[in-house]
Chains A and B, each alone.
Chain A
Amino acid sequence: MTVTDERPAAEVGAARRRKEDARLITGRTMWTENVALPGMLHLAILRSPMAHARLVRVDTAPALREPGVVAAFSGRDLPAMGLPCAWPVTEDMVHPDHPALAVDEVRHVGEPVAVVVARDRASAVDALAAVDVEYEPLPVVTDMEQALADGAPLVHRDKGTNKSYTWVFDSAAAGTGGSTEEAFANAPVVLRRRYVQQRLIPSFMEPRSVVADPTGDQYTVWSATQIPHILRFLLSVVTGTPEHKVRVVAPDVGGGFGGKLQVTPEEVIAFAVAQKLGKPVKYTETRSDSLLSAHHGRDQIQDIELAADRDGKVLGLRVKLLANMGAYLGLVTPGVPLLGAFMYNAIYKFPAYRFECTGVFTNTTITDAYRGAGRPEATYAIERIMDELAAELGLDPVEVRRRNWIGHDEFPFTTVAGLTYDSGNYEAATEKALSLFGYDALREEQKRRRESRDRVQLGIGVSTYTEMCGLAPSRVLGSLRYGAGGWETASVRMLPTGKVEVVTGTSPHGQSHETAWSQIVADQLGVAFEDVEVLHGDTRTSHKGLDTYGSRSLAVGGIALVNACQKVIEKAKPVAAHLLECDVNDLEFRGGAFRVRGTPTEEPGKTLADCALAVFAAHDLPDGVEPSLDADATFDPENFSFPHGTHLCAVEVDTETGRVSIRSYVAVDDVGRVVNPLIVEGQVHGGVVQGIAQALFEEAVYDADGNLLTGTFVDYTLPSAADLPDVVSDRTETPAPGHPLGTKGVGEAGTIASTPAVVNAVVDALRPYGVNDIRMPCTPERVWRALQGGAS
């Protein structure tokens, strides 16, 4: 018996420790901030303290007299460079210019007004105080409804409106369902609710940083970004620099959560200054800069109406959204709510659906993608109102879901929003979650506490979610007017010693691609996990790709990787046949070796390493065989993938103080086949925690003058481990069909599922007190006020 056959097959599914950990944990790695180049200059950016003002004067000359200062620029001194928005969601979308450095007007606090360049960072920061700016204040609007009212101050005076767009989906018009008007007209039960998705700040661990280095006519840009490939393309477009003269490197990147899915003013300013001075420059933001000016997330007002019959069967759903764009449109700002538009129907089947979203400009920092991007908002609203329906009809919230969800035998299922869900088993995930949670016992305890009027009440929240991830089929993106495709690329290079280099077009910033990709390649090619090196993030080595967001890397990039591996095997076949002196058609590849079909596995055969060495020497190859096994593959998915799961949360609410404590949390996720359970669990934990943070802790707050009141972590309340529960995480596994890996994507699932589970639990605890909603975050004061019968 030989074990070589079995070992590689065990890699996918194995709880491998991460290849990345040693260098990340010890900090012995390259972050953008660590880049130091000879003659490098440092940038400091003066940011507007005003939410809306005309720039009467920006005089940078006094700064030039400060020690160490080399140059200083206002928006007028640099070539006009508008920041890109890649998602014009409607033909008539109002799309204002977005200069990287303000020229005539500032429209939110934190907007860059001037840049000072100095020999060291401290001198640059010191000299900011010498820049002389005169602001002529203009009226400010920060509230979306006020912004849409007649006579409201205009964020962009030349546009005549604060409305960017209205985008509509109607199942009757789309032919995916019936008319909501009819559904609502005859419905015995109609519920109307307003939910508010507060503004959040994606708090990645590594602040954003950029280095731009002009050498000859080549520009190299290091950036703490999620999207080196998209950034390269757009820097080229924005600055007019030929694309082949731009190289972008995303070295190790410390988190993003969508917050680094952006082409930032700072990247463009650094590029322009480097171009102007002919010297390398660096800018690294402070945490305060980051909270103030890196894009924010969420910030929607959701008016949701649900029609149902008396048995709890949903008959129709209408959603009217206001989405706060902020002062400008970022890379995918207008499209974020659209990613939610197809998810309001969630795991349920009902006949009629209408969605309408209006994008609104305000004098605030732009919003854009934040973990889940549109889908957490949608899932929150539908899962909250499903609980309201249960309460209205006196049904158990789980039972209401059961009566409406798509049965496991109904897949593939085309929803009222027009998506085709490929697979799923909501029954199995829910059963498992209920049992791990001890649902019935907790309901019993809740009853006892209610009866005894316990000071601490128990609440139970459920959230059954699905999401569309694996962004995305290019054709679908095109139909939604998105500016790029959704394919992904991988290359496999066979080195002469049998080691393997893999290049991925995805761009990890915490997702463990090096580990997971190695596991996949080890199985595919029959090489050792340790013998695979995964390269990414540098457009010089990874020339092509669409980067990492939307839980796409494994679901899309993983298939490209498998396809590239298959091509390597195909290319090796004639070489192996030659080495084995047999016909290509008699070969089989199993356990990392080619053998004549039917040969016992004890025979060593010819491994890929043998073939790699043979093509390297190329002394003796058959005629017409290319002396290379390297291959690449680009894959465009035909459909999204649809992970799902059931999350259950038990909270205790102190009715005296309003404090909410999470007592237990169970997450059962079905993310298809799992490549590495440790990584999946890490993603679930991190995601759940971020979702809990939205439910209970985080909120970015502006005052009426447009000042960010939560500009440090003292006021922007991030929870730490001490504030969070142990998460019991488990899985069901319904492999994605028609997919060589069967994986579905897990990066956003926890965030999508957990927020409604927690808020449902808080509201559940307080229902006997007549409470049916608490605005997020459910702070102790809001809970206390709700208990006083006041507005929360």
Chain B
Amino acid sequence: MIPSAFDYARPSTVQEAVRILSEAGEDAKVLAGGQSLIPVLRLRLAAPSLLVDLGGIAELRGVSESGDELVIGAMTRHADILRDPLVARYAPLLAQATATVADRQVRHLGTIGGSLSHADPAGDLPSVSLALDAVMTIAGPAGERSVPASEFFVDYLTTAMQPGEVLVAVRVPKREGWGTHYEKFNRVAQAWALVGVAAAVRRENGSIAEARVALTNMGTTPLRATAVEQALAGALASADAIASAAASAAEGTSPSSDVSASAEYRTHLAKVLTRRAVAAAGGIDAA
């Protein structure tokens, strides 16, 4: 298919990108890896007048350390994340989830920033960013600001970013001593998750000291399974305790019914997958 005609800009600095976007107003779209936007354009579900391609901004690509945080440039490709030693050491959950994103071709073009900015609740990385307490660094006409993942995802395909703003980096707290797991359930390997669960668990003396659980595709945004987290905090690190906590995984969620799955089935999956994800993260045999 052929997209509608559009103008194209390829700035070489973030500043320049912000300036172009501010001038263009709401009719401009940011092009990152293009793995969601290009299909949308080709199907003519969107017809922006201007595409601002961030691919020429070298500073947006790469992973570095800054104190207690990893700083991941927004234009870092999924394939880069999978190979990155810092991610492997401090945020293996991100690497594990990224490995499940679509297929090899998509992973070599798609970017972490694009995936988070697109804010598709069926995407894998939004829930992972929630579970990891990531913080988004956003550049705009007024300079940079930070937004925690918990406030970043506002609605279906909608983030806290304003027109003229660009996501420049994702800051992920280094987590050592945590076990993590991403449990994704999809029809085929390349497909979106029907439901996914990102879990991070810190154990202390046979108990679960702390757990963070986030759900993919259980509502219009990625969601924290707060009830599960509360039930797990201080619980015995046992299969029974996890199963009992996971039973409330769907609390406060509003999954959709579509041609791939019903809301009822997604609700069921959320519980099963939460149990499996938490058990795997905590290194507990869930049977």
Contact = CB atoms under 8 A, between A and B. Distances in A.
Interface of A: 121-122, 125-126, 286, 288, 455, 656-657, 659, 697, 701, 709-710, 712, 714-715, 717-720, 722-723, 779-781, 784-785
B5 A784 contact: no
B253 to A, nearest CB: 17
A718 B269 contact: no
B53 to A, nearest CB: 20
B188 A121 contact: no
B272 interface: yes
B185 interface: yes
A288 B39 CA distance: 11
B1 A286 contact: yes
Given A659-B185, A697-B188, A715-B259, 17 more contacts: A121-B2, A122-B2, A122-B5, A455-B287, A656-B272, A710-B259, A712-B43, A714-B191, A715-B260, A717-B188, A720-B190, A722-B190, A723-B188, A723-B189, A780-B265, A781-B262, A781-B265
Contacts of B1: 125, 286, 288
Q: Is the interface of B mostly helix, strand, loop or mixed?
A: loop
A227 B49 CA distance: 44
Contacts of A785: 265
Given A288-B1, A656-B272, A715-B259, A697 B190 contact: no
Contacts of B273: 657
Interface in B60-116: 103
Contacts of B157: none
Contact of B4 (A126, A712, A714, A717): A126
Contacts, number: 54
B282 to A, nearest CB: 19
A124 to B, nearest CB: 9
Contact of A720 (B189, B260, B261): B189
A-B complex: 4 closest residue pairs judged by Cβ atoms: A722-B189, A781-B265, A286-B1, A709-B259
Contact of A125 (B2, B188, B265, B268): B2
B192 interface: yes
A588 B97 CA distance: 71
B269 A717 contact: no
B49 to A, nearest CB: 14
A657 B185 contact: yes
Contacts of A710: 259
B2 A697 contact: no
Given A122-B2, A126-B4, A718 B260 contact: no
Interface string B19-33: 000000000000000
| Interface size class, chain B | 20 to 34
Interface string B172-189: 000000000000010111
B255 to A, nearest CB: 12
A539 B265 CA distance: 54
Nearest to B43: A288
A530 B260 CA distance: 50
Contacts of A717: 187-188, 191, 260
B169 to A, nearest CB: 30
B261 A781 contact: yes
A709 B272 CA distance: 28
A122 B259 CA distance: 32
A10 B125 CA distance: 57
B102 to A, nearest CB: 10
Nearest to B272: A656
7 contacts: A122-B5, A697-B188, A709-B259, A717-B187, A717-B191, A779-B187, A784-B265
A485 B188 CA distance: 42
Given A121-B2, A288-B1, A784-B268, A720 B262 contact: no
Interface string B37-54: 000000100000000000
A717 B258 CA distance: 14
B187 A697 contact: yes
Contacts of A712: 43
A283 to B, nearest CB: 13
A722 B2 CA distance: 30
A288 B262 CA distance: 25
A657 B5 CA distance: 45
Contact of A780 (B2, B5, B103, B187): B187
B261 A657 contact: no
Interface in B137-167: none
A455 B187 CA distance: 20
User: Which among B1, B2, B287 has the greatest number of chain A C-beta atoms within 10 A?
Assistant: B2
User: Which among B188, B189, B272 has the greatest number of chain A C-beta atoms within 10 A?
Assistant: B188
A121 B42 CA distance: 13
Contacts of A723: 188-189
A718 B190 CA distance: 9
B273 to A, nearest CB: 8
A502 to B, nearest CB: 39
B188 A657 contact: no
A146 B43 CA distance: 33
Given A710-B259, A781-B261, A657 B269 contact: yes
A31 B96 CA distance: 40
Contacts of B188: 697, 717-720, 722-723
Contacts of A784: 265, 268
A657 B272 contact: yes
Nearest to A287: B1
A109 to B, nearest CB: 15
A715 B2 CA distance: 21
Contacts of B261: 781
A126 B5 contact: yes
A659 B4 CA distance: 41
Nearest to A717: B187
Nearest to B259: A709
Nearest to A120: B2
A71 to B, nearest CB: 19
